[in-house]
Each structure stands twice: as structure tokens, then as C-alpha cells.
Amino acid sequence: MAAYPEVTVDELAARLADGAVLFDVREPDEYVAGHVAGAVLIPLGSVPARAGEFPTSGDVYVICKSGGRSGRACEFLRDQGVAAINIAGGTMGWMSSGREVVSGDQPS
């Protein structure tokens, strides 16, 4: 079992509607090509240096392409006191569920 909690893309959609915070840990080119609206880009390699940018109150959702990189980010962040929750299936799961993504270098 993973050392961090996970939610499905369906659960993520409901939580985003309630104002959840989402971080995308893919590389910039992947993010620009298409990301969940509102997701803030912090590539996995820069998560340790930018850990202070993650809120330490409330749940923080982390997504990547399919769930692997975001899982590693969640493990690290949880060790830093961030309530990080992985998105099972990642952005690919989000898109295959029929949900839209936005392109460009801005969250939405």
C-alpha cells in the first residue's frame, strides 16, 4: 500500500468544484500541451526546492501523467508536513474520463 492517500479523477473533480488546490508535477512541455484547469505547475525535480509553495493547511492534490511522479511528490511532501493526496490515473485518467484539459503555460 502507498504511503500516501489517493483519490480518483471523479473525486478530484468534485473537490476542485469545492475549491481544492491542485499541483501538476509533470515537465513544462507536458503541462503546456494540456493540464487540468487550475493546476499549478511545479515539476517533480523542483518540488524539494519549492516545497514552501505548497500549503501546509488543508489537503493538497498532486497530479502527473499517470500517477507515478505525483506519488513520489506526495511521499516527499507528506514528510514535509503537507497533506498531499495523489490523483490515481493522473492527467491521462482525467482525459479518458471525458473531462477537458486546458493548454498553455498558465493554470487556466
Per-residue pLDDT reduced to its tens digit, 34-76: 999 999 999 999 999 999 999 999 999 999 999 999 999 999 9
With pLDDT > 70 as the criterion, what percentage of the chain qualifies?
98
At 3 the pLDDT is 82
Lowest mean pLDDT among 2-6, 27-31, 78-82: 2-6
* SS3 label, residue 90: helix
Fold observed for domain 6-96: Oxidized Rhodanese; domain 1 (3.40.250)
Domain ranges of the chain: 6-96
Predicted confidence at residue 1, as pLDDT, reads: 54
What does the alpha-carbon distance between residue 67 and residue 70 come to, in Å, rounded to a whole number?
A: 5
Backbone region of residue 28 per phi and psi (left: phi > 0; alpha: psi in -120 to 50; beta: other values): alpha
Query: Looking at residue 25, what is its pLDDT?
Result: 98
CB 61 within 8 A of CB 17: no
CB 100 within 8 A of CB 37: yes
